[in-house]
């Protein structure tokens, strides 16, 4: 960014009373623990502040990235020469109307699952342990253990370029495997504000038991003890990425501080000092090897920003 843009953004945020930091290391805010500094790291606490921050960035043509819990994202080693707007500090509570739960986008997905449990509502057990926010999970239609967000999502409200909050019903969101309308041209950069989920009545004991079972499976099979961005590759049609990678003998394959997990080949982990360059080179070689030996071309699930 040019200095006059930096000055204008700083002045605008100060005038609006929106909390922010400059040159904040993104490695401190992602589950991968990788990433250089963001020119501006903005932390709105209320919807009004969020709207002001997004509108200001757009008016100044400042590149803007909306960050939730920091999972499923790989920032570059040089950082982000723009504004990262973090929703993790947004105040908001889950609201219940019958069998429907409404949750703010910045809320950790695990908190939504716990709220469903306390309300005796079943349907979100599959999502327990997914290390993301409600908004991030909706954005990519996150899924695990046979369930996806689209199975129970009713509607989403997002901040449009006009500054208005717009609601889209489930059928308007183009939801499919690891995809939503928000990933498509013209919608990228839209800021999800909240979402509503339609669930079913269930027995608390049964819901708790299923959540415990899924969490135990995650702990046994996934390298949760290491920083990662979750599943690194999308599931190719007719196969499983982890099985293909394992078949190619790539478990434990390492580039710098990045490694294909020896516990689960579908995860690339940060063994301590991995850089973005390490991860990109490792995934390039993994994709090349898998395609050469199996014919499958793996696609990254992790979003990568320069």
Can you give the pTM of this predicted structure?
Answer: 0.88
**Residue 89's pLDDT is what?**
84
Mean pLDDT over residues 226-238, rounded?
A: 94
Number of other residues whose CB lies within 10 A of the CB of residue 22: 12
Lowest-confidence segment of 37-51, 157-171, 198-212 by average pLDDT: 157-171
Per annotation, catalytic residue among 27, 133, 231, 261? 231
- Short-list 87, 88, 63, CA closest to 76: 63
Residue 200 β-bridge partners? 122
CB of 54 within 8 A of CB of 90?
Answer: no
Burial of 225 (0-12, 13-18, 19+ CB in 10 A): exposed
Per annotation, catalytic residue among 102, 178, 194, 235? 178
- 301 catalytically annotated: yes
**Six-digit token string for 80:** 């982000």
- 27 catalytically annotated: no
- 178 catalytically annotated: yes
Mean pLDDT of the chain: 94
Per annotation, catalytic residue among 49, 125, 148, 301? 301
Helix (H, G, I), strand (E, B) or coil at 162: coil
């Amino acid at each position: 960014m040019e200095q006059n843009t930096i000055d204008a953004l700083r002045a605008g945020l100060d005038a609006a009373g929106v909390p922010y930091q400059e040159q904040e290391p993104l490695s401190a805010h992602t589950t991968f623990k990788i990433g250089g500094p963001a020119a501006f790291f903005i932390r709105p606490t209320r919807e009004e502040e969020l709207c002001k921050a997004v509108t200001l960035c757009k008016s100044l043509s400042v590149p803007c990235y909306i960050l939730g819990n920091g999972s499923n994202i790989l920032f570059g080693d040089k950082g982000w020469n723009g504004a990262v707007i973090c929703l993790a500090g947004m105040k908001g509570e889950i609201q219940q109307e019958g069998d429907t739960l409404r949750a703010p986008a910045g809320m950790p997905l695990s908190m939504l699952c716990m709220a469903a449990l306390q309300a005796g509502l079943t349907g979100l057990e599959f999502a327990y342990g997914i290390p993301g926010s409600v908004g991030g999970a909706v954005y990519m239609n996150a899924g695990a253990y046979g369930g996806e967000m689209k199975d129970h999502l009713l509607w989403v409200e997002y901040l449009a370029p006009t500054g208005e909050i717009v609601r889209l019903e489930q059928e308007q969101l183009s939801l499919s495997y690891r995809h939503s309308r928000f990933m498509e041209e013209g919608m990228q950069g839209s800021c999800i504000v909240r979402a509503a989920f339609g669930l079913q009545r269930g027995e608390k004991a049964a819901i708790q038991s299923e959540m415990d079972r899924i969490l135990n499976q995650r702990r046994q099979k996934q390298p949760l003890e290491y920083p990662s961005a979750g599943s690194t590759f999308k599931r190719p049609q007719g196969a499983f990425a982890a099985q293909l990678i394992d078949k190619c003998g790539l478990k434990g394959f390492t580039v710098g501080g990045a490694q294909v997990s020896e516990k689960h080949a579908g995860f690339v982990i940060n063994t301590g000092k991995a850089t973005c360059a390490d991860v990109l080179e490792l995934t390039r070689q993994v994709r090349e090897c898998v395609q050469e030996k199996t014919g499958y071309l793996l696609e990254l699930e992790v979003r990568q920003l320069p």
